[in-house]
Structure 1
Amino acid sequence: MEDRMNIFIYSKHDKDSLEKKSKVEDALIHEGFTITEDDTKANIIISIGSDGSFLQAVRKTGFRQDCLYAGISLTGKHALYCDFHYNNLYEMTQAIRGAKLKVRKYPLIEVAVDNQQPFYCLNEFSIRSNIIRTFILDVIIDGTLFETFLGDGLIISTPTGSTAYNKSVRGAVVDPLLPCFQVTELASVNNNTYRTLGSSFIMSGNRNLKLKVHQDGNDFPSMAADNEAIGIRQVENVEIRLSDKVIKTVKLKDNSFWEKVQRIYL
């Protein structure tokens, strides 16, 4: 695409990553692309590293809606978000140049803590007890109390995030073409006082989820947005919904979501 020629590259700052970043820049410049150090002026944002680097690139550049994201893997293997290999940069330049370029859209969730400015997650939002004891959350769906959770915490994941932390605790893998998000328990305690569904459940993108933290001395939970910790004290309420925003990436032939899942896990 001729109108997608300004590229910002995100990488770690260690010596090896910076050397590889320099080589990627040289390859892109050779193909006629322009490299910018200002991500706001880029219409393509590329991460170098792993899926974690891709998540950081998206977060550090503000979940841009007017640009295309792409990930370059350094391991020699495809990852969920890294469609390209460092040793085959030509494939990436040709894919971005493609006149019939197709775009894949990954959904985000929007999270607001105690009515503060909302933030976004591409993989998941997690909330866990910050001390060595369980804590209590009221799980409220569309204004109605669904269950009162006692345990270590909850993971709220996007469809693409369903293959990450969520999957490791036996949550379902969800097709990203479905506009939804998933709630998965971490070590729930079920007894005569507290009762939960006991399995992950998937909610329509039209639903609103609210988590109310019981103020019992454990009201400073550990929270994370994707792979970044969130330091907010005295948490009372967390509201979560499927965002209208999406992350756009290059859609490659023979590299659908389920083909990626098959390569990674089967």
Structure 2
Amino acid sequence: MKPTKVFIYSNDTGLSKATANELVNVLSKKKFEIASKYDETVDLIACIGGDGTFLNCVHECRLPKTPIIGINTGHLGFFQELVPSELEMFVNHYNDGNYTVEKIHPIRALITDRDGIHEITGINEILVMGMYTKLAHLSIIMDDTPIQEFIGDGILVSTPVGSTAYNYSLGGSLVAPELDALQLTPMAPMNTSAYRCFRSSILYPASKKVRLVTRKSTVGDKLLLAYDGLTREFSNVSKIDVMQADDEIHLLRLPGYDYWKKLTNKLL
């Protein structure tokens, strides 16, 4: 039987580097193979850092199908499952098959402009907003049904795992990861005699597609799209379609994992 191949992804903090070295020692003693880079032959990704490092890892590995175990050396660590002192315990659980797999469904946006169609993918969220202090004027269409002429700073679409991130800061709802739902949250919506924009988030089935169509001055303006801490600028956008992606990210969870306990300890 070939040895299990592990790719270690780490940020540059002193604690993360020390944890990576210790993990190499633990894995080597258990006859695991350490991969120098990620490819499809890797059996397991060990991600050392915080939530930001996890998101960077997923994007740099191009939405890997390989299971990921998170080791928290950061702050909140919603995605991370271990702390550095639990490395040997984890390896024993892994060898025994004593874990579960949490499936994370990203979202993707198809941006149509004069140059064609561009695609971005978010694990936590995708935010569409005006550049600098410019407002975004967008028609919001759910499948084929227009639901709002929106004007404000922007619109954020988040996944259940992303509900605890920027979405929560904007006043959005916390969503259990078991729910197959997406969330539409307004960013500084206008409420005047001319515009009556929705002010609370909308939870909707993940099978539905949201289309954002640019209106009035926004048609010729630049738009900023932010996703998982990354940003891209687009000009002359006509529409943006946001939907659940077909990809799945597989996150390992150990015995005793309790989402509600983690939520209470870290956020509430």
Which sections of structure 2, spanning at least 5 residues, go unmatched?
Answer: none
Matched to 1:99, the amino acid is: G
TM-score under structure 2 length normalisation: 0.90
Matched to 1:249, the amino acid is: L
**Matched position secondary structure for 1:187:** strand
Matched to 1:151, the amino acid is: G
**Matched position secondary structure for 2:247:** strand
Q: CA deviation at 1:48?
A: 1.0
Assess if the C-alpha contact under 8 Å between 1:25 and 1:35 holds in 2. yes
Asked if residue 43 in structure 1 is aligned to residue 68 in structure 2, the reply is: no
Assess if the C-alpha contact under 8 Å between 2:185 and 2:201 holds in 1. yes
Asked if residue 61 in structure 1 is aligned to residue 69 in structure 2, the reply is: no
Q: CA deviation at 1:45?
A: 1.2
Measured in 1, the distance between the counterparts of 2:80 and 2:216 equals 41
Q: In structure 2, do the counterparts of structure 1 residues 104 and 16 end up closer, same or farther at CA, with 3 Å as the change threshold? A: closer
Cα deviations by residue, 1:101-131 (Å, 9 ceiling, x for unpaired): 3211122112111163433211111122212
Q: In structure 2, do the counterparts of structure 1 residues 14 and 99 end up closer, same or farther at CA, with 3 Å as the change threshold? A: closer
Assess if the C-alpha contact under 8 Å between 1:78 and 1:84 holds in 2. no
Name the residue aligned to 2:243.
241
Matched to 2:245, the amino acid is: S
Name the residue aligned to 1:158.
159
Measured in 2, the distance between the counterparts of 1:100 and 1:30 equals 19
Name the residue aligned to 2:92.
94
Name the residue aligned to 1:255.
257
Q: CA deviation at 1:190?
A: 1.5
How many residue pairs match? The answer is 263
- Counting only pairs closer than 5 Å after superposition, residues 211-222 of structure 1 correspond to structure 2 as 211-214=212-215, 216=217, 219-222=221-224
Assess if the C-alpha contact under 8 Å between 2:223 and 2:233 holds in 1. no
**Matched position secondary structure for 1:39:** coil
RMSD between aligned alpha carbons? 2.1
Cα deviations by residue, 1:206-241 (Å, 9 ceiling, x for unpaired): 111011123516621221111111233333321111
Over the matched positions of the two proteins, sequence identity in percent amounts to 25
Q: In structure 2, do the counterparts of structure 1 residues 138 and 260 end up closer, same or farther at CA, with 3 Å as the change threshold? A: same
**Matched position secondary structure for 1:116:** strand
Q: In structure 2, do the counterparts of structure 1 residues 253 and 162 end up closer, same or farther at CA, with 3 Å as the change threshold? A: same
